[in-house]
Amino acid sequence: MHCTKRITDDIIWLGVSDRRLAMFENAFPIPRGVSYNSFLIKDEKTVLLDTVDKAVSGRFFENLAFALEGRALDYIIVNHMEPDHCATLGEIILRHPNVRIVVNAKTLVMIKQFFDFDIDSRAVIVKEGDTLATGRHTLSFYTAPMVHWPEVMVTYDAADKVLFSADAFGTFGAISGNIFADEVDFEADWLPDARRYYANIVGKYGTQVTALLTKASALEIDIICPLHGPVWRQNIGWYLDKYKKWAAWEPEEKGLVIAYASIYGNTENAADILASKLADRGIKNIAMYDVSAVHPSYILADCFRFSHIVFASSTYNGGIFPNMETLLLDIKAHLLQNRTMAFMENGTWVPMSAKLMKELISPLKNTTVLDNTVTIKSSLKPAQEAELESLADVICSTLK
């Protein structure tokens, strides 16, 4: 049996979804699963573009055998050497011993690190702009370093105007029958996971993503085939626009994340009251998160989405509450910038967290920190109402 989909007359999707994996990269929860996309071009030569994760290799090899219809595999192009795409490379060699492996020089080094088979005798080493003619198709290769590893390249098919974009334009989420983004309600059902995937997987490398977008803008693209999630053949400009904003660390929209760390509910109460006062001022886009209840990958994604962030944290062991510190380190690691931030802190004897949180995010570029820090000693008191009003006022005035 097989589960394949035709992308064009002779380009076939052979990908497989994994709905069992709890944590992608053993780091990010994926309750909607994930797909590993692999594509076969059936031309005068047969060309496979990337493979899949080891966990779904059985179904992948069924798909490959079905799609090849008894033909041998002539080439495999390795756009990205990360094991979620190339774990089955060794088995490809066993099944298709005469296959040529199309790689760049950096990929070659990594293949030798991950595998023990003889790569040198099989390698076709390509560099920026090189082409491979396979019959009707001519494939060209463009490097995309750090989107998401240093060896990444993308492949462009001039015949059908297809960009095989590696991790770029990918998303968490399993494929449920419909392989094309225009067959699902992408904005409603997929965008949050696409944003979360971008922010967490490649969010740090916005400069390199922008470089790839610039290269891609010189190509005529009708179809984008990423390594995860749906294939794009309509409304590509809409998704490109999201990517341009994310890559420049520009917020998609005016709005606010309130992330709080609360031990007995008093800091949470302050966050709730602030949100309520903002709502009274007509602010609609408010995403509030308990950092102990929500995985930081979700909060980071909304920090990429919105223009403003309020951090409210208890002081813990003389430092920042650990889950809040994890979130802030994540934000710092992904080089978030161009945001307005405000702080609230709590402490029963020495409130320290606001000072420490500000220090932690101080290397972030083009960040505006609002002056109106609120300090709570154990619990909010009626006399502090004015402080919260004034914080709400200043957030409101910078949001509108």
Give contact residues for ligand FEO (rule: CB under 6 A).
80, 82, 84-85, 148-149, 167, 227-228
- DSSP code at position 384: G
Q: At 309, phi and psi to the nearest 5? A: -140, 130
Q: How far is the CB of 149 from ligand FEO (least distance, A)?
A: 6
Q: How far is the CB of 85 from ligand FEO (least distance, A)?
A: 6
Pairing of strands 11-13, 374-376: unpaired
Q: For residues 262 and 297, which CB has a smaller minimum distance to ligand FEO in the complex? A: 297
Of 167 and 345, nearer to ligand FEO (C-beta) is: 167
Q: What residues contact 297, with CB distance under 8 A and at least 6 apart? A: 27, 28, 29, 196, 199, 200, 330
Angle value at C-alpha 145, between 166 and 236, nearest 5 degrees: 40
The continuous run of DSSP H or E covering 326 comes out as helix 322-333
Task: Give 186 or 205: the residue with its C-beta nearer to ligand FEO.
Answer: 205
Structure tokens at 173: 């989420």
Name the minimum Å distance from CB 80 to ligand FEO: 6
Is residue 285 within 8 Å of residue 396, measured between CB atoms? Answer: no
Q: In this complex, which beta carbon is closest to ligand FEO, that of residue 106 or of residue 161?
A: 106
Nearer to ligand FEO, 197 or 306 (CB): 197
Q: What is the closest distance, in whole angstroms, from the C-beta atom of residue 84 to ligand FEO in the complex?
A: 5
**Amino acid sitting at position 114:** F
Q: How far is the CB of 371 from ligand FEO (least distance, A)?
A: 41
Q: Are strands 34-36 and 123-125 parallel, antiparallel or unpaired?
A: unpaired
Is the CB of 228 or the CB of 277 nearer to ligand FEO?
228
2 is written with which tokens?
A: 């097989």
Closest contact distance (angstroms) between CB of 373 and ligand FEO is 39
169 within 8 A of 243, measured Cβ to Cβ:
yes
The closest residue (CB) to ligand FEO is 82
